[in-house]
């Protein structure tokens, strides 16, 4: 906030008033040095994925962290790499997942569609992608993608979105 100073309130000479104004408008003394920039911590990796490929074509993806819009690219890249390496089915171990969003659920569906050879749903399509996901014949916990070790914090979200969770 700038402070306005009226020269008429001072009884000194004009040079004294100018010196006061100069002193108020300069935030630091001449010998002042700027503090060193504070090192900001890098954001922690939101999702880590460990891959285990079996000789029978089933690849297990062990997730740890959050599967949300901020981390779906990590999951999608890993699923694509597994498919390119010859995976015919995926098992997604959710034991380490602390949070799952709609974007994460769409990424799971797209992984199933990828292995099935179907075209992927575009997350930028919004509601139409969600409706296609719910109406699709390629589903999470189908023949191409199975969920394992679903944590209690994630299970209600999956059930509410039509994903059958095995007990």
Looking at the domain assignment, is residue 28 inside a domain?
A: no
What total of structural domains would you count in the chain?
1
Looking at the domain assignment, is residue 105 inside a domain?
A: yes
> Is residue 111 a contact partner of residue 79, using CB atoms and an 8 Å limit?
yes
Looking at the domain assignment, is residue 36 inside a domain?
A: no
Looking at the domain assignment, is residue 15 inside a domain?
A: no
Looking at the domain assignment, is residue 68 inside a domain?
A: yes
pLDDT tens digit at each of 167 positions of the chain: 444 444 445 455 556 666 666 666 665 555 555 555 555 444 557 899 999 999 999 999 999 999 999 999 999 999 999 999 999 999 999 999 999 999 999 999 999 999 999 888 888 877 777 777 777 655 677 788 999 999 999 999 988 888 877 65
Range of the domain at 137: 47-160
Q: Supply the CATH number for residue 59's domain.
A: 3.30.750.24
> Is residue 71 a contact partner of residue 103, using CB atoms and an 8 Å limit?
no
- The residues, ordered by sequence, that sit 6+ positions from 68 with a Cβ below 8 Å of its Cβ are 46, 99, 100, 101, 103, 104
pLDDT attached to residue 120: 87
pLDDT attached to residue 17: 62
Looking at the domain assignment, is residue 27 inside a domain?
A: no
Looking at the domain assignment, is residue 40 inside a domain?
A: no
Looking at the domain assignment, is residue 125 inside a domain?
A: yes
């Amino acid at each position: 906030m700038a402070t306005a100073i009226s020269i008429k309130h001072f009884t000194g000479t004009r040079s004294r008033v100018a010196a006061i104004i100069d002193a108020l408008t300069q935030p630091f003394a001449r010998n002042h040095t700027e503090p060193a920039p504070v090192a900001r911590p890098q954001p922690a990796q939101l999702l880590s994925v460990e891959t285990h490929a079996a000789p029978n074509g089933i690849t297990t993806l062990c997730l740890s962290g959050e599967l949300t819009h901020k981390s779906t690219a990590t999951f999608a890249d890993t699923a694509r790499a597994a498919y390119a390496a010859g995976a015919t089915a995926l098992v997604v171990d959710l034991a380490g997942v602390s949070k799952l969003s709609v974007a994460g659920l769409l990424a799971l569906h797209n992984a199933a569609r990828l292995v099935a050879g179907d075209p992927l749903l575009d997350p930028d399509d919004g509601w139409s992608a969600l409706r296609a996901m719910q109406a699709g014949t390629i589903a999470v916990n189908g023949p191409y993608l199975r969920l394992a070790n679903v944590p209690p914090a994630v299970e209600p979200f999956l059930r509410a979105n039509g994903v059958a969770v095995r007990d």
